[in-house]
Amino acid sequence: MTPIDDLYAIVPAGGAGTRLWPLSRRSRPKFLLDVLGTGRTLLQGTLDRLLPLTGPDRVVVVTGTAHAAAVAEQLPEVGVANLVAEPSPRDSMAAIGLAAAILERRHGSVLVASFAADHVVPDVEGFHTAVRHAAVAARAGYVTTIGITPTAPSTAFGYIRSGAPLEPTEGGPTARAVVEFVEKPDAETAAGYLASGDVAWNAGMFVARTDVLLGHLERLQPPLAAGLREIAAAWDTAEREEVLGRVWPTLTRIAIDHAIAEPVAATGGVAVVPGAFTWDDVGDWASLATLVSPDGDGVRRVSAGGASPVVAIDAPGAFVSADRPVAVVGLRDAVVVLTPDALLVTDAAHAQQVKAVVDELLARDRSDLV
């Protein structure tokens, strides 16, 4: 396949993934981990997915200074000029906005497409198709999102509600206007969404022209836009550290959803194209378990020591990640994760509560374990 000539990918690599404790830690966040045991980390998988669309020179990764070295090591294809290290977390608008502003200064107005570093997309071909479609709508001036076709009434994801089809554009499918973005619903609301048929999961994937994106930002968040442009102007100069150190801490902390997607959608400026591919944000162990194919005996496992037996007695749906033999007896949808310094035992229904383990360890002054 051929790359999309005017497309640059932005990969904000942040977030701790505390619900994947004990595998994920503050020092080894989710995106740096090979959570599926495929031999590639989530970050590397993200790059693998993007390279056919952009080539190696058009992917920019934004991460915290604490993880910059690890990111560089995991992504030798990405040049140092395309690794943007944030001095401190200022949320996704600052991260994506800075990358967009740097790219615009370097290349003029281009298309930027932003994808989280810690999601899983098994259907790479479907993903590529959706990005190509999104690029068409983005070139036409829309902030364009990819709405994942829901396969279940999930309460773990936000939703995108779409409205009327937009004017057909050459080479693209009929994109639709986004009516609204809605937060994670309760189960009943989610079931209603699914029945209505005009909703999609919000995977946080945005494609836009830099002039469109930064134009919206200038209008909606003027101080943030000005700060980002000031840093971007200094980025490829000797002034970078000075300006970054002075301006970055002053930037507004806001997510791109709240800064741009929601207000721009309200005035008809956001389009959505269908993403008919399998996708997951690997939000917890239950989510991860669904991405792993079961063995012949129904056990789902991720393990470096794959030869170790897992014996499940009266224990359907067990998920096991461990470096030694494991027996699960009498538990349904058990989740067992053993690391060299900790062990988690839970079940799929309680996977979201793993965050409370991290909170409790911090309360016990055991930050060494989180």
Residues forming contacts to a second copy in the complex (CB under 8 A) are 21-22, 309, 311, 313-314, 322, 324-331, 334, 336, 338, 340-347, 349-351, 353-354, 356-357, 360-361, 364, 366, 369
Our CB check for a second copy shows the closer of 81 and 349 to be 349
Tell me the closest approach of the beta carbon of residue 369 to a second copy, in angstroms: 6
Q: Rounded CA gap, 31 and 63, in Å?
A: 10
Tell me the closest approach of the beta carbon of residue 284 to a second copy, in angstroms: 11
Our CB check for a second copy shows the closer of 121 and 282 to be 282
Distances (CA, A) of 202 to 76, 158, 193, 294, 297: 30, 5, 13, 28, 34
Our CB check for a second copy shows the closer of 50 and 351 to be 351
Tell me the closest approach of the beta carbon of residue 222 to a second copy, in angstroms: 44
Tell me the closest approach of the beta carbon of residue 335 to a second copy, in angstroms: 8
In our burial notation (b when 16+ CB lie closer than 10 A, e otherwise), range 336-364 reads bbbeeeeebebbbeebbebbebbeebeee
Q: Indicate the pairing of strand 7-13 with strand 342-347.
A: unpaired
Give which of 144, 134, 112, 132 is closest to 209, Cα–Cα: 112
Q: Rounded CA gap, 33 and 24, in Å?
A: 7
Q: What are phi and psi of 161, to 5 degrees?
A: -100, 125
Our CB check for a second copy shows the closer of 200 and 336 to be 336
The distance between the two most distant Cα atoms of the chain, rounded to a whole number of Å, is 64
Tell me the closest approach of the beta carbon of residue 325 to a second copy, in angstroms: 5
Encoded tokens for 168? 């057909």
Tell me the closest approach of the beta carbon of residue 285 to a second copy, in angstroms: 10
Q: What is the DSSP letter of 25?
A: B
| Other beta carbons less than 10 A from residue 251's beta carbon | 24
Our CB check for a second copy shows the closer of 187 and 327 to be 327
Q: Rounded CA gap, 74 and 113, in Å?
A: 21
Tell me the closest approach of the beta carbon of residue 120 to a second copy, in angstroms: 23
Classify residue 55 by burial, with Cβ atoms within 10 Å: 0-12, 13-18, 19+: middle
Can you tell me whether residue 317 is helix, strand or coil? coil
Encoded tokens for 293? 């194919």
Distance of alpha carbon 276 from the chain centroid: 17
The amino acid sitting at 165 is P
Tell me the closest approach of the beta carbon of residue 311 to a second copy, in angstroms: 5
Our CB check for a second copy shows the closer of 250 and 367 to be 367
